[in-house]
Amino acid sequence: MNFEGLNPSLAEFAPPLHPALEPVLDPHLNPNLVELDPEGVALEGLPVPDPVPLMEGIYSELHTAVSEVGVPVAVAHFDLHEEMLWVGNHGGHATSFFGPTLERYSSFQVNSSDDIRQIQSLENGVLFLTKSNLKYLSRGGLIIFDYLMDESEDMHSLLLTDNNTLLVAGLQNHVLEMDLNTVQETQKYTVEVPGITIMRQSNRFFFCGHTSGKVSLRDLRTFVVEHEFDAHSGSLSDFDVHGNLLVTCGFSSRMNGLACDRFLKVYDLRMMRATTPLQVHIDPFFLRFIPTYTSRLAIISQTGECQFCEPTGLANPADIFHVNTVGPLIMTFDVSASKQALAFGDSEGCVHLWADSPEVTFNAYSRETDFALPCMVDTLPHLDWNQDLVPLSLIPVPLTSDALLSDWPAANSAPAPRRAPPVDPEILRTMKKVGFIGYAPNPRTKLRNQIPYRLKEMDNEFDNFSQVPESPIGREEEPHLYRVAKKYRKVTIKYSKLGLEDFDFKHYNKTLFAGLEPHIPNAYCNCMIQVLYFLEPVRCLVQNHLCQKEFCLGCELGLLFHMLDLSRGDPCQGSNFLRAFRTIPEASALGLILADSDEATGKVNLGRLIQSWNRFILTQLHQETQEQEGPQAYRGAGSSSFGSSGDSVIGQLFSCEMENCSMCRCGKETVRVSSTLLFTLSYPDSTEKPAKDYEFAQILKRSICLEQNTQAWCENCEKYQPTVQTRNIRCLPDVLVINCEVNSSKEADFWKTQAEYSFQKAMMKRGGFDITKGKEISLGDWKDLGNPDTEHSYPSVEELKNIWIPHAIKMRLTKSKELDVSNWSETDELSPTDDPESVYIYDLMATVVHILDSRTGGSLVGHIKVGETYHQRKEGVTHQQWYLFNDFLIEPVDKCEAVQFDMSWKVPAILYYARRNLNSKYNLVIKNPIEASVLLAEASLARKQRKCHATFIPLMLNEMPQAGDLVGLDAEFVTLNEEEAELRSDGTKSTIKPSQMSVARITCVRGQGPNEGVPFIDDYISTQEQVVDYLTQYSGIKPGDLDAKISSKHLTTLKSTYLKLRFLIDVGVKFVGHGLQKDFRVINLMV
């Protein structure tokens, strides 16, 4: 329908168009006519007049019903197959009414925002046309198909040309032809004059009514214009075709506006010309032919007047009827197929049914309508107490306080859940993601909503982990065929509505050591953070370190280690450290910063990545701790027991001075001195079969004292010459760091072969054979096994497999500065003849391994030998123990497991060997470097801050908080990354990855003193990362508040505000606030 000629006041359909909609009882309201709105509330306030007694052959009002209060009816349509009337409104809601009494049959939302433009009933359902959407729904409201058109489309009309073909037209310059079987666009016809809002069909033509006032007659096959009538100069309102007559009504252009024409244009389709116009007594807005006995016309005005007349005769004022509308305007009009009923929809959401007889039918032959069956409850059978054959099970059992025999105790029963089968790989391959929802075509490999359960095969699987249903470990298909052990698999946090509160971390970590959460971007380095934490000199160094730089990895690592110290088994987040890590340009240049997609899909070689990260972090910490001349406290001077201006503790621990010698073929020798923080293993380039047997010590010496041939510039020859480059070391480091560089199958095969040789020698030794030491024994751990006199607990065969590296190494620098490396035993000490200054014994302290797992994309885990000081601090015991650190999963392991590398899934990446009695060389006292000066006044980063509008008063020296003081705290956050979630088939949402929050504003209020209630901190945190959502409605923070260039707030760095809160926590104040546990978690503080 074309709405251009409507009264302009109809642009907004406000609810109070009719004052009688107030919920008051009207004495004239027929109780049988009370309808329900979609929410089920009785619409008691609609005054519907008493029906007029019907006279046969004359149309009068039969019934009135409400579709939705206050929402104008947009279109009404009599169903062509069943006794139903369909109503669509401007809110996109559709309602159907059954029979002449207009009983509500179904009601559902078709579109969330757009109005319904046209309705067309088909045999199996109903078509609904909105602005840019065509929906086909069953009569009960189930979607059969939903066809989305281009957003620029503005559709107004549809025409069913046959059972399977549909024409759709609107304000654009084309008409779409659609096939309803395939739900595809089959043809697009271009029209010369855009704006087709009404379409009709006869056995000769398609009739198209345009907004310009024209009616075009088009060929049924080619859609080419055959004839055209300029019906109205302004716009077309409605037209209808019957037999050889075409009748139109519309508007004329007068005085820069549109005026309704009080006559109908009549065209004879035999001669293709206009006949005498038909003058009427009302403003025609709708018209329809009602060919019962004669070709009568029904002409409707927008105000509710209805006139019947013959198209070739004169209109009689006596034939005018008035529709008693609730709303002031008639919005739609339709005639039933039987011509016995008329339907009017008004602007207040009411639909009025007029009929020419009380027993009206909408169609000549309607099929039966399906109704929902009522709930039928069978009555209980009568029990005859006198019958001996009555089953006892029919007798109700009385309530008893004693336990029944069938009441099994919980200890004797266990739930056996049914797992959902894995997602079809074809679905994952073809899936396209929009936000957090993936869409993929159905491969049709399984029946709809049917899952075959092979219960007998799966019984044994569930026995192992039915007691801990919240744990995702071990829930993969066929675990007996899964080569990766459960504890090594990638662990994920299962989020619920409560977030992390009901997730059982204790199931994964029964120790008091703290794990690290894995869901933060670039958290692949968690295992290396743990390795550095359990190196006591490094832990003490970074906790004493504090500098002025905003993004300093040393400072952030120290703050994170402090949290790990305080935690009693709860996992910590490395979010602040990783945030600083992302800002370091060198890290980005080295490719250490991963996108979320790379980390999730497993496209990155994590083994190579963590080795690059290892080299980077040692270099970065060395530079940052070296920059300080006598490390100073933040904005204060405090001496430290570490380092001097020339070197850093990192340098003392890891650095090794090397002599690089280049020898040209001409005899020219160049010597260059450098230092390195770690060594990379270099493997022999051997292709001989069988492969040669090497000890690990031999490969290590070869890698340290590297000799290689390369092209280099010779100043003597003045050109590039083949050069022999050799490397020798001048001193030994306290911590020997080794990158394994197992990056291809060639290196992996080398490790595998050497492990097999070691296994054979260990088994021979275990069997009592005497083998000459140094030639064939690879592991000193078993050197005494051949002596039958020693009472030894022999290791099992499984403990000897896949082992090549020793638990200890002996390294010695001779007087001529030559390096001697040999495998050693953990239990052996130096002989009295060895000089402790030149002979170092290194014990294996940590191994970082890359877990190859095609199901999860792989992960990195660490084996760490936790020393006595850590056990003493956490658990009050004095011993050493190897632990597996897999993010927040921490589990004690045997020492042989730390050096067992099954190259098919467990590949070594990094080895840490620490010198014996390392801690005795270093001062391990930690002095808190955060001083009270952090709370004093500081300048804002914002350039435009207005000093006259200060929102807080900084603390004075005499107001410094003491232990037990009250401090009010509130924090506001912004979202950096949206959460990732999936919608399950039952409609529930499962969070895969939570949204990443960042603190944006911290406010602290004095809890006592003369200025009680006055804030002393109100910091906005400057951020350089992209903010996805400022959460303004909750936080009050607007875009620009966190930008130093345009902000008018007191802007500080995250580090500055973090140190203020850390100082308050260290002092021992009591915080008062709402949801502080979650706030401290996001801020990254352990309280």
Report the CATH number that the domain containing residue 1021 is assigned in CATH.
Answer: 3.30.420
What's the DSSP call for residue 4?
Answer: T
Q: Find the helix or strand (DSSP H, E) in which 556 lies.
A: helix 553-566
Is 275 within the bounds of a domain?
no
H or E stretch covering 51: none
Q: Name the 3-class secondary structure at 138.
A: coil
Q: By C-alpha distance, which of 1062, 6, 1083, 1077 is closest to 499?
A: 1077
Is the separation of the CB atoms in 519 and 494 below 8 Å?
A: no
**Residues 980 and 940 occupy one common structural domain:** yes
User: 149 lies in a domain?
Assistant: no
Spatial separation of the C-alpha atoms in residues 751 and 753, rounded to whole Å:
5
* Spatial separation of the C-alpha atoms in residues 312 and 279, rounded to whole Å: 11
Main-chain phi, psi angles of 949, to 5 degrees:
-110, 45
Burial of 856 (0-12, 13-18, 19+ CB in 10 A): middle
Q: Where does residue 297 rank: exposed (0-12), middle (13-18), buried (19+ CB within 10 A)? A: buried
627 shares its domain with 679: no
The answer to whether 1052 touches 1019, Cβ cutoff 8 Å, is yes
As beta bridge partners, residue 148 has: 133
Same domain, 823 and 783: yes
- Which structural domain range is residue 718 located in? 663-704+713-751+761-766+775-851+869-918
Report the SS3 class of residue 587: helix
How many whole angstroms separate alpha carbon 813 and alpha carbon 838? 6
Packing angle of the helix pair 536-544, 553-566 (nearest 10 deg): 110
Residue stretches of the chain with pLDDT short of 70: 1-57, 374-381, 396-397, 419, 450-482, 496-502, 596-602, 627-646, 686-689, 767-795, 943-949
Q: Hey, what amino acid is at 93?
A: H
CA dihedral 617, 618, 624, 627 (to 10 degrees): -160
Residues 905 and 971 in one domain: no
Residues 824 and 909 in one domain: yes
Please check whether residue 198 lies inside any domain of the structure: no
H/E stretch holding 179 reads strand 174-179
Give the C-alpha separation, 288 to 587, whole Å: 76
Residue type, 770: D
- The three-state secondary structure class of 385 is coil
pLDDT of residue 1072: 94
* Inter-residue contact 728 to 661 (CB < 8 Å): yes
pLDDT attached to residue 687: 66
Are 958 and 1013 found together in one domain? Answer: yes
> What is the Cα–Cα distance from 656 to 730, expressed in whole angstroms?
7
| Amino acid making up residue 844 | L
Domain count, the chain: 3
How far from 980 is each of 434, 435, 457, 593, 600, CA to CA, in Å? 11, 8, 34, 20, 12
Give the β-pairing of 1015-1021 and 1051-1052.
Answer: parallel
Backbone phi and psi for residue 1043, each to the nearest 5 degrees, phi listed first: -100, 120
Residues 941 and 900 in one domain: no
* Residue 387 DSSP SS3: coil
Residues 1035 and 1008 sit within 8 Å (Cβ to Cβ):
no
| 147 belongs to a structural domain | no
| CA–CA distance, 661 with 658 (Å, rounded to integer) | 10
* Alpha-helical regions (H) of 267-393: none
Q: What is the rounded CA–CA span in Å between residue 171 and residue 166? A: 17
Tell me, yes or no, whether 732 and 880 share the same domain. yes
> Is 1002 in the same domain as 882?
no
Name the amino acid, one letter, at 852: L
Rounded (5°) CA angle 84-86-87: 145
CATH of the domain at 908: 3.90.70.10
Cis amide leading into 690 (omega within 30) = yes
Whether residue 571 is contained in a domain is answered as yes
- The span from the CA of 728 to the CA of 1051, in Å, is 52
Judge if pTM exceeds 0.85: no
Q: What one-character DSSP code corresponds to residue 128?
A: E
pLDDT for 935: 86
| Element housing 970 (H / E) | strand 966-977
889-892 vs 719-729, strand pairing mode: unpaired
1008/1005 Cα distance (integer angstroms): 9
Residue 477's pLDDT is 43
The two three-digit tokens of residue 624, written as one number: 């940052």
Please tell me whether residue 158 adopts helix, strand or coil conformation: strand
Residue 614 lies in a domain: yes
CB 1029 within 8 A of CB 974: yes
Does 1037 share its domain with 980? yes
- Domain shared by 981 and 937, yes or no: yes
Q: Is 1067 helix (H, G, I), strand (E, B) or coil?
A: helix
Other CB atoms closer than 10 Å to residue 104's CB: what's the count?
15
Residue 806 lies in a domain: yes
Is 373 contained in some domain?
no
Same domain, 1027 and 936: yes
The DSSP code for 788 is T
What is the reported pLDDT for 937? 76
Phi-psi region of 747 (alpha: psi -120 to 50; beta: other; left: phi over 0): alpha
Start-to-end CA distance of the chain, whole Å, equals 67
Two tokens at 1046? 């345009």
The residue whose two tokens read 């996805």 is 1028
Cβ-contact 934, 901 below 8 angstroms = no
Q: How many CB atoms lie under 10 A from the CB of residue 15?
A: 11
Indicate the residue type of 898: A
